[in-house]
Amino acid sequence: MAFPTTAESFEELVVEALAELPAYFRANLANVEIVVEPWADRATLSQVGVADPRQLLGRYHGVPRTRRTCGYNLTLPDKISLY
């Protein structure tokens, strides 16, 4: 499989991959935003200890479901960034 050459074609692949996830995984993506960005920003790279932005392909921003309590509500969506 050839790698996509445009941001649009990569986003299409992401949409297709999400649609093919089993229902259990899709259900657990409630209140999670998935975004495609060209590169991670400097703050993100610094937080994860990566110097070269080409080495970071994705990141989860938020509270893992295993750490959420009954008080976890009225919050902005967690986010998965794909670079």
The count of domains in the chain is 1
H or E element that contains 47? helix 42-48
At residue 80 the predicted structure's pLDDT band, cuts being 50, 70 and 90, is: very high
- For residue range 43-65, list pLDDT tens digits in order: 999 999 999 999 999 999 998 88
Q: What is the pTM of this model?
A: 0.81
Instruction: Answer yes or no: is 69 within a domain.
Output: no
Does residue 13 lie in a domain region? Answer: yes
The answer to the question of residue 68 being in a domain is no
Does residue 38 lie within any of the structural domains?
yes
Report yes or no: 36 and 14 within 8 Å, Cβ to Cβ: yes
Domain of residue 24 covers 7-62+76-82
Query: What 8-state DSSP symbol labels residue 80?
Result: E
